[in-house]
Amino acid sequence: MKYNKIKKKFIYFFKKNNHKILNSSRIINKDNSKLLFINSGINIFKDLFLNNKKIKYNKIANIQKCIRINDIKSVGIDNYHHTYFEMLGNWSIGKYSIKKAIQYSWILITKIFKISPKYIYITIFKGDKKKLLKKDYKSYKYWKKFINKKRIFFRNIKNNFWKIDNFNLCGPCTEIYININKKKYKKINFNNKNLIELWNIVNIKYLVIKNKIVLNKNLLSNNYIDTGMGLERLAMILQNKKSTYDIDIFIPIIKKIEKILKIKYNKNKKHDILIKILSDHIRSICYIMYNKIYPNNNKYGYVLRKIIRRCLIYRYKILNNKQPFLFKLVSTVYKIIFKKKNQDKIILIKNKLKEEEIFYFISINKNIKLMLLYLKKNKIKYLNKDKIIYIYSTYGIYYFILKKISLKNKIKIDKFIEVKKDIEL
């Protein structure tokens, strides 16, 4: 099933079930919290849950465009993390309970999207005595009506108690996992890369106050539900792929990258990591810049700059090439993400991006010269872990670049593995 068809089916299902369908909000978060970008569906509804705004609709569904960089070091390394993604979600604000939310999820996944129950596993919160949180028997009771209890697993507070970052809302959650390789397992291990977390259903009834989880009177009806399902992950499952990078919307971007860089996807592990990083990050870059955010050292612009530079430094590390290239991907990405073509905006984004690419490597070359002056002035002939970290934090020079420079200038360099971890990409 194609990416856009999945979106239509999701919206049609919840519209048919009397939910108000809302458009994705802008990705820029301006509510005075520490969160710069919208990174999940509930971000835009949290004031309704906190009773800070008058409720117009109590059953809502939408597909929210998100930017999330807290997992950026996993992007490209594994097969399903992204900085830009779309989140399918439905919400009950005092209207329906966890029972109805579970029913909706089961119908949608097994009847509409036709995922076989024999590949589905469910996790539920097992409670936490220290924090006085009860076991989620309600979810267990409702799931047993749809799925064999042998496929239901109780997990701890770390796995199945959801706290919405920056907003203090929280509650027990039940999660739907899909076995994508369709093999039978004697013992279920949720760290298995073939068991993909697909849908998270949260029963919001607690607040975090002074680091303590407390029940909230307004949420005690149990009819406050927040759900989220990654669209890219769902597409991967429905298209029978092993990676979200193999779904239909990534194919044109990857082909363009192959053409520009003259490398092939699925032929070389290092090249695959690079291609996945580029194909993900260029989507974030284009979408952030589409919202009139450009690279700089302040808040939103700094995040954008960080994403751009990760692309450039990985390409330099793997292909030893510092020529501008990201700007050549903009037109391809624009066709996929945006419905209306705006040639002026495409040209503007291309130009801004090319400027940033050129600027970065000018900065790197300048900082290498400053670093060499520092080494010469202080007569440093050996770089230990502390010196390497100092050089990275002061001059922004990564370990792999420093190794090249050290070899060329006959400077000994520490080979400790911990160094790489401290300044990894």
The pLDDT value recorded for residue 258 is: 98
pLDDT of residue 338: 82
d(CA 225, CA 234): 21
The whole-number pLDDT of residue 30 equals 78
3-state class (DSSP) for residue 87: strand
Residue of 169, 209, 213 whose CA lies nearest to 40: 169
Instruction: Express each pLDDT in 35-78 by its tens digit.
Output: 899 998 888 888 788 777 888 899 999 999 999 998 899 999 99
Per-residue pLDDT band for 185 (boundaries 50, 70, 90) equals confident
What is the model's pLDDT at position 163?
85
Mean pLDDT rounded to a whole number for the chain: 91
Q: What is the pTM of this model?
A: 0.92
Return the CATH superfamily for domain 3-245. Bira Bifunctional Protein; Domain 2 (3.30.930.10)
Helical spans, DSSP H, in 295-396: 299-319, 330-337, 343-377, 385-395
- pLDDT tens digits, 97-118: 999 999 999 999 999 999 999 9
Question: Can you give the pLDDT at residue 424?
Answer: 59
3-state secondary structure 256-319: HHHHHHCCCCCCCHHHHHHHHHHHHHHHHHHHHHHCCCCCCCCHHHHHHHHHHHHHHHHHHHHH
Backbone dihedral region for residue 248 (phi beyond 0: left; psi -120 to 50: alpha; all else: beta) = alpha
Mean pLDDT of 6-30: 95
d(CA 127, CA 132): 8
User: What amino acid is encoded at 168 in this protein?
Assistant: N
Span 216-235, average pLDDT: 87
Confidence of residue 416 (pLDDT cuts 50, 70, 90): low
Q: Could you state, in order of their start, the residue ranges of all structural domains in the chain? A: 3-245, 250-359
Tokens 């969160």 correspond to what residue? 35
pLDDT at 425: 58
Question: Is the per-residue pLDDT at 421 higher than 60?
Answer: no
pLDDT band at 186, cuts 50/70/90? confident
Is 319 exposed, middle or buried (CB count within 10 Å of its CB: 0-12, 13-18, 19+)? Answer: middle
Residue of 17, 16, 24 lying closest to 41 (CA atoms): 24
pLDDT digits (tens, 9 = 90+) for 205-223: 888 877 788 887 667 667 8
Token code pair at residue 15: 């519209």
pLDDT at 329: 97
Q: What Å distances lie between residue 80 and 7, 124, 244, 246, 380, CA to CA?
A: 18, 23, 5, 10, 43
Cβ within 8 Å of residue 162, ≥6 positions away: 170, 171, 172, 173, 200, 202, 226
Give the closest residue to 371 by CA, choosing from 351, 396, 350, 349: 396
pLDDT value of position 48: 81
Q: Maximum distance among all alpha carbons in the chain?
A: 74
Segment 145-183, tens digit of pLDDT: 999 999 999 999 999 999 876 667 899 999 999 999 888
The answer to whether 112 touches 14, Cβ cutoff 8 Å, is no
* Residue 370: HSE in the Cβ half-sphere, 13 Å Cα cutoff: 12
